């Protein structure tokens, strides 16, 4: 480790935000407290782009998996789908602990950068480490005030009561990923308590959990700040490398009450919390990039009984719980709970006893595996940290963050539906995809289109732009296996295409061709033609056929396909009308046949 990387941190917000050398600093994304920071001569900048797997891909993968399971026969399929008849006897209860990496530049108790970025020495093990992170003798933790801002945004967004005064505790355990021999956390006096997460069927909550209600409320016991551990890499059969770059990275731990009673709702809770954290820019990345991990506590009991009498934070009569650690995807959360639920039922029905223990889960597995006995408060020897003063949070800061908090996912979703006439599905997708970048692109394009055509009809153009941004542009991304950061279409170019389409200067087919052409072109301005230039050079402008020419083309195709005509006229197979429309578009010269007009002509002729 170079001596220049060994630093201690002063307790100043400015130093906390400007804590790393130029070129290697990780800067938080622009957030809602920018004005608050700027008023104190502090600024934030945008981080380097990250290769992200869109949340929509996770949702699509889950839907495909469930559809495949539905087609299978056998007991395993029934269990996975929640149709195991034993579930009428046994009740599942789940509590979740979510660890999210905060969107900050510095570590929690040192001025070292919170992440090793790509660069000359980016990724080099132990290159982003201050003296305290390495537990060098005599070093002291110094709380970095800037790490509190995203934590507060998260707590406020989740409806928690921010505590005026909170404290720091040492959680003792001895492992090479924790250099000090303890983790600094807020076990006894967290900075936020008593929140609520509200979910509905649109979030993925099954009807059985809603029980006829419109929504389901899951309590949040507390949110606490704590350090992350070092990264351990196995090399060979018995050698481990330890990288301290991650040691001390600031996390929040969000602890729900045990009020979840299905695997689907558990996955929905994690998805919703991730969406909320992203909406207020509290979390660096989501589950797909390792910025958020979940531990689930699972127990079962016979319905109508009080289990073994276990209780947690006011919820009593629970069964003996086990904890499954480090689940890194929504699918893993759901599948691990299903597997552990059935394991516990098997043990109890065989006359056994559930042991309190920590278990692991591997994607693709059918059972959880025992890792160790469950540690308790006594095992960790929690005690107040003598090196850190209490954390005191001013009400003025909480009030400022509350008043400037951006719209949360549910509120934003409703706004998109009301303002732009989007469907619930499209509104949720726009919010979930690409950390809000696609939503920003959508809204900018809508405003540009409306300004160009001189209209104030947000619903009309909102639906149009939404379809092209989500489906047409999204289809190109999927086909070419690109992420949103690689999109080469600008909002102005999409505006030009859609204005030409709306004014019937081009057909829908031509509009799609133009979009695909620009999607593939280089981004250099000097080599990138305008939409108007492409239309003129390609002779793509609409030159509609006359009514007689439409009928002549339609009749010729109908005469060549009498069986298809018979199917429509005599068998009532109206869907085949679109086959004729497709044939007319293919037969006509480019830019001469409008599908809507062709459909009307075909419909009129087959009815005669």
**Residue 438, exposed/middle/buried by CB under 10 A (0-12, 13-18, 19+)?**
buried
Residue 591 near residue 539, CB atoms below 8 Å: yes
pLDDT per residue as tens digits for the range 564-581: 888 888 777 887 888 988
Residue 25 near residue 44, CB atoms below 8 Å: no
pLDDT at 400: 96
Q: Which residue has the higher pLDDT, 56 or 299?
A: 299
Per the listing, tokens 């379809």 go with: 467
* 3-class SS of residue 392: strand
Q: Which residue has the higher pLDDT, 91 or 73?
A: 91
How far CA 34 is from CA of 42, 143, 262, in Å, comes to 8, 21, 40
List Cβ neighbours of 356 (8 Å cut-off, separation of 6 or more). 320, 321, 322, 373, 374
pLDDT per residue as tens digits for the range 316-370: 889 999 999 989 999 999 999 999 999 999 999 999 999 999 999 998 888 999 9
Question: How sure is the predictor about 286, in pLDDT bands with cuts at 50, 70 and 90?
Answer: low
Residue 469 near residue 427, CB atoms below 8 Å: no
- Give, as one character, the DSSP assignment of residue 106: B
How far CA 484 is from CA of 50, 436, 529, in Å, comes to 10, 11, 22
Residue 391 near residue 163, CB atoms below 8 Å: no
List Cβ neighbours of 177 (8 Å cut-off, separation of 6 or more). 229, 230, 231, 232, 242, 247
Is the pLDDT at 407 greater than 70, yes or no? Answer: yes
Is the pLDDT at 593 greater than 60, yes or no? Answer: yes
pLDDT per residue as tens digits for the range 484-530: 888 889 999 999 999 999 998 988 889 999 999 999 887 767 778 99
Q: How far apart are CA 470 and CA 563, in angstroms?
A: 37
pLDDT per residue as tens digits for the range 155-210: 999 999 999 999 999 999 888 888 999 999 999 999 999 999 999 998 999 999 99
Q: Which residue has the higher pLDDT, 487 or 300?
A: 300
Q: State both tokens at 140.
A: 């002291």
Of 286, 282, 307, 288, the C-alpha closest to 92 is 307
Question: How sure is the predictor about 309, in pLDDT bands with cuts at 50, 70 and 90?
Answer: confident
Q: What is the mean pLDDT of the chain?
A: 83
Question: How sure is the predictor about 548, in pLDDT bands with cuts at 50, 70 and 90?
Answer: confident
Q: Which helix H or strand E contains 232, and what residues bound it?
A: strand 231-235
pLDDT per residue as tens digits for the range 427-451: 988 888 877 789 999 999 999 999 9
Task: Tell how many helices (H) and how many strands (E) occur in the chain.
Answer: 22, 18
Of 422, 603, 596, the C-alpha closest to 509 is 596
Question: How sure is the predictor about 547, in pLDDT bands with cuts at 50, 70 and 90?
Answer: confident
Q: How far apart are CA 511 and CA 535, in angstroms?
A: 10
Q: How far apart are CA 419 and CA 433, in angstroms?
A: 19
* Dihedral angle, C-alpha 408, 414, 417, 423, nearest 10 °: 90
CB atoms within 10 A of CB 457: 12
Task: Pick from 28-37, 54-63, 79-88, 256-265 the range whose average pLDDT is largest.
Answer: 256-265
Q: How far apart are CA 450 and CA 68, in angstroms?
A: 43
Per the listing, tokens 């000097």 go with: 526
Q: How far apart are CA 185 and CA 97, in angstroms?
A: 14
Size of the chain in residues: 608
List the chain domain ranges.
3-384, 409-537, 547-606
pLDDT at 58: 52
């Amino acid at each position: 480790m170079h001596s220049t990387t060994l630093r201690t941190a002063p307790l100043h917000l400015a130093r906390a935000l400007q804590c790393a050398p130029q070129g290697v600093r990780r800067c938080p994304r622009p957030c809602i407290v920018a004005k608050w920071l700027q008023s104190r001569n502090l600024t934030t900048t945008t981080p380097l782009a990250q290769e992200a797997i869109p949340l929509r891909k996770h949702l699509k993968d889950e839907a495909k998996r469930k559809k495949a399971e539905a087609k299978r026969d056998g007991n395993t399929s029934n269990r996975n789908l929640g149709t195991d008849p034993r579930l009428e006897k046994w009740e599942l209860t789940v509590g979740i602990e979510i660890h999210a990496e905060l969107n900050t530049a510095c570590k929690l108790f040192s001025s070292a950068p919170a992440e090793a970025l790509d660069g000359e020495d980016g990724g080099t093990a132990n290159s982003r480490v201050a003296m305290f992170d390495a537990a060098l003798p005599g070093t002291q933790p110094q709380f970095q005030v800037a790490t509190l801002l995203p934590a507060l945004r998260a707590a406020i967004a989740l409806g928690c009561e921010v505590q005026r005064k909170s404290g720091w505790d040492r959680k003792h355990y001895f492992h090479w990923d924790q250099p000090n021999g303890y983790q600094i956390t807020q076990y006894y006096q967290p900075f936020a308590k008593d929140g609520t997460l509200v979910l509905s069927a649109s979030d993925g909550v099954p009807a059985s959990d809603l029980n006829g209600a419109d929504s389901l409320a899951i309590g949040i016991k507390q949110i606490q700040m704590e350090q992350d551990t070092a990264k351990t890499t196995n090399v060979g059969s018995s050698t481990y490398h330890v990288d301290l770059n991650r040691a001390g990275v600031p996390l929040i731990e969000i602890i729900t009450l045990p009020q979840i009673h299905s695997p689907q709702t558990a996955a929905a809770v994690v998805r919703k919390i991730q969406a909320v954290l992203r909406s207020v820019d509290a979390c660096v990345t989501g589950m797909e990039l390792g910025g958020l991990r979940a531990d689930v506590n699972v127990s079962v009991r016979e319905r109508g009984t009080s289990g073994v009498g276990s209780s947690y934070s006011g919820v009593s009569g629970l069964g003996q719980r086990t904890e499954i650690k480090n689940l890194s995807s929504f699918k893993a959360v759901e599948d691990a709970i299903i597997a552990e639920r059935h394991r516990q039922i098997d043990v109890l029905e065989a006359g056994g006893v559930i042991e309190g223990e920590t278990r692991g889960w591997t994607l693709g597995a059918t059972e959880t595996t025992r890792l160790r006995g469950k540690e308790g408060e006594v095992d960790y020897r929690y005690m107040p940290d003598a090196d850190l003063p209490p954390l005191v949070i001013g009400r003025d800061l909480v009030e400022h963050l509350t008043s400037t908090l951006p719209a949360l996912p549910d509120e934003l979703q409703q706004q998109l539906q009301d303002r732009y006439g989007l469907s619930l599905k499209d509104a949720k997708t726009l919010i979930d995809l690409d950390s809000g970048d696609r939503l920003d692109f959508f809204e900018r394009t809508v405003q540009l289109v409306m300004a160009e055509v001189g209209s104030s009809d947000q619903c009309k153009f909102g639906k149009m732009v939404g379809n092209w941004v989500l489906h047409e542009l999204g289809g190109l991304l999927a086909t070419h296996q690109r992420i949103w950061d690689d999109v080469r279409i600008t909002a102005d170019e999409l505006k030009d295409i859609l204005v030409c389409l709306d004014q019937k200067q081009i057909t829908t087919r031509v509009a799609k061709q133009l979009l695909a052409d620009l999607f593939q072109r280089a981004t250099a301005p000097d080599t990138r033609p305008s939409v108007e230039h492409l239309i003129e050079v390609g002779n793509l402008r609409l030159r509609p056929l006359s009514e007689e020419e439409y009928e002549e083309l339609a009749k010729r195709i109908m005469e060549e396909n009498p069986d298809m005509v018979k199917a429509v006229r005599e068998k009532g197979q109206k869907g085949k009308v679109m086959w004729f429309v497709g044939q007319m578009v293919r037969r006509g010269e480019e830019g001469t046949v409008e599908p809507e007009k062709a459909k009307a002509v075909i419909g009129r002729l087959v009815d005669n």
